[in-house]
Amino acid sequence: MKKTVKIQGLDCPNCAKALEKELNKIDDVDNVEIDFLKSALSFESNDVDKAFCNIVKTTKTIEPDVKLIDENKNKDKTKSKSLNRKLILDVCLLFAGIVLGLCVLFVEMPVWLFWTLFVISALFLGYKTYFKAIRLLFKGTVNENLLITISVIGASAIGEYMEGLMVIALYSIGKILEGVAVDKSRKSIEKLTQMQPEFAVVIEDGVEKSVAPSEVSVNSIIIVRPGEKIPIDGKIIEGGASLDMQSLTGESVPVFVDVGKEVLSGSIVLDGVLKIQTTKEYADSTVKKIMDLIEHAQDKKSKTETVISKIARWYTLGVIVLAVTVWGIVWAVTKNFDEALYRGLIFLVVSCPCAFAISVPLSYFSGLGNASKHGILIKGSNYLDACAKINVVAFDKTGTLTTGNFIIQKVVSLDSSKDEDEILYLASLGEQYSLHPLAKAIVSANKKKLQKVDDLKEKAGEGVYFKFNEKNYFVGRRSKNSKNTIVEVFENEEKIGEIELDDDIKKSSYIACQELKSLGVKTVMLSGDNELSAVRVANEIGIDEVHHNLLPQEKFEWIENAKTDKKNFIGYVGDGINDAPSLMLSDVGISMGINGSGASKEVSDIILVDDDPSKVPSAIKISKYTRKIVWENIILSAVVKITFLLLGTFGVTGMLFAVFADVGVTVLAILNSMRALKYKPNKKAKNFEEKNKTR
């Protein structure tokens, strides 16, 4: 049985890894995983309660300040207060340690008092660091806590008292700032989970009943009032309201919906009351899918993140070996033991791996969180990484670039006694009872009141026969040689008109194509539709290359052939079951979230919550921006550390700069990582939409 609990007071990623390693050694406890950024600990056991008690005991011996909370049993409402108290205590001890340190360094006093106050000052400044280093060392783990502890002891041993206190003081200040920055990032991520509904109001036999969303079955009737979240995906059967969908799609402008419209769970009703017939179970609803993806987004790590994680395991031990080597070389050259030891200690401080170990995963997590805020669900940081490499995007047509709903392109009268409106009216008379998509489009375009007809007969694959005003009519298709979608109207076996229809293009498809071109990405349409329809849509949107009359296997073959050119990195965007093979074969598969089939969403790497193709360039922009931040952090950290390692080794800089190279760079890298959470990818897209309102 698997269990997940909250973990508080853990502000160091390396400490989290060390704790995770030790917890996995406990008997009858399996697969312990600590998600540092989400402050969560999960484990498996046949007896979870007993296992949880053992985990708590072991955690206390390694990390006394860490608190584990089983939220199912203990709704800890004092979380923020306890965190604030912890921060205040840390700041007070830090301040007291600095004051005592200044007294020790600048006030004359007996030797015994000097050493007493010096030790107290050093303990106030970093007792947590020392104790962690010792506890982990006894368990066979070395990390940056040990590096700092050795540096403080070493500096004090050679008489560099100011340097010793300065190392631990600046390190502790940095850890406090690091904790504040990480906590802020965590809170930003947690905002994404606030869309999760707590209840659903179901109407049964006219009686309202509040239940958990997971208990609501498909086709149930639920009611949602102003200020409440829609708990489950469904279709409105009564009422109208404005919805706040910002948490789902990133769109800040409220969207008005009424009867017949599909609505997504997680949307907030701003005004009006909605009665909704559920179309999915809660487990399959949009908000639950988002929660699951956020929960497991870090399971699939990017190559960059994985490499950093693997290196960090052996990094600290390697640093100690190199520091000893530096000490030995400098001692051999200078013949000065104290100077050699001092430079070795500087090497230890500069080499702490925090900047790499936390900023890289934090950058990716921020990028994934940002994408989720904009309605782009990316299933892992490896797919986020891959998205940045896309240089060819292949689109399915129907349901992806188009709405799947037909609109009338042209009405032609072949009878001089009848105008286009009358042809449309006669066609609507026959189609008014049909469920065919073409019939619905014709009837919705008609503006006149429809009358009853006689002898109405519908033949599948052919059309509708009926009588009206003593005349026989046929509405359907008899000509087989037309390349476009035509509905013909016959009166007494004489053709009197034609109605040309085509699939309605999504407005966001224009934005998607223009934005992709601005990114230097080639656009391709792979459609199963006829040539005339596919080419019209492609030309109107601005697609670079179009292929029509394709079977699913032919789409698959096109992607397969395109991938033989190693320069091509292909993203495929589709919505149907027939798109599943192409979604799997492409380098990045992107599916529609509302109308997409279960199969397409299952095999895809990215899901667009609101079926908006303009989110494709947004995903690429977020991915590129996140990768840029990751490499900024890696390069910044590496350059600063290498520079100060060399300067410290050759005696140019002292311990103060060494601490900046460690703690300062770590804080800068964390703050830089958080930019990925705030990045807005759709500024240009909105500007384009404003310019093309009249399209």
Active site residues: 396
- 312's tokens: 């960090």
Backbone torsion region of residue 31, taken as left when φ is above 0, otherwise alpha when ψ lies between -120 and 50, otherwise beta: left
- 248's tokens: 């789902």
Instruction: Give me Rg for the CA atoms of the chain.
Output: 33
Backbone torsion region of residue 159, taken as left when φ is above 0, otherwise alpha when ψ lies between -120 and 50, otherwise beta: left
CA atoms of 88 and 176, how far apart (whole Å): 10
CA atoms of 280 and 214, how far apart (whole Å): 11
What does the angle CA 384 – CA 386 – CA 391 come to, to the nearest 5 degrees? 120
Phi, psi of 594 (to 5 degrees): -90, -60
CA atoms of 333 and 329, how far apart (whole Å): 6
CB 51 within 8 A of CB 43: yes
**Strands 392-395, 570-574: parallel, antiparallel or unpaired by DSSP?**
parallel
Sheet strand arrangement including 463-468: 402-413, 494-505, 485-491, 471-476, 463-468, 454-459
Alpha carbon 172 to its chain centroid, in Å, reads 32
Greatest distance between any 2 Cα atoms in the chain: 122
CB 323 within 8 A of CB 344: yes
CA atoms of 190 and 196, how far apart (whole Å): 11
Bridge partners, 454 (sequence order)? 467
Q: Which residue has the tokens 């052939």?
A: 561
Alpha carbon 48 to its chain centroid, in Å, reads 30
Q: Which residue has the tokens 């050679």?
A: 158
Element (H, E) at 311: helix 303-334
CB 657 within 8 A of CB 351: no
CB 16 within 8 A of CB 34: yes
Under DSSP, the state recorded for 549 is S
* Burial of residue 310 (number of CB atoms within 10 Å: 0-12, 13-18, 19+): exposed
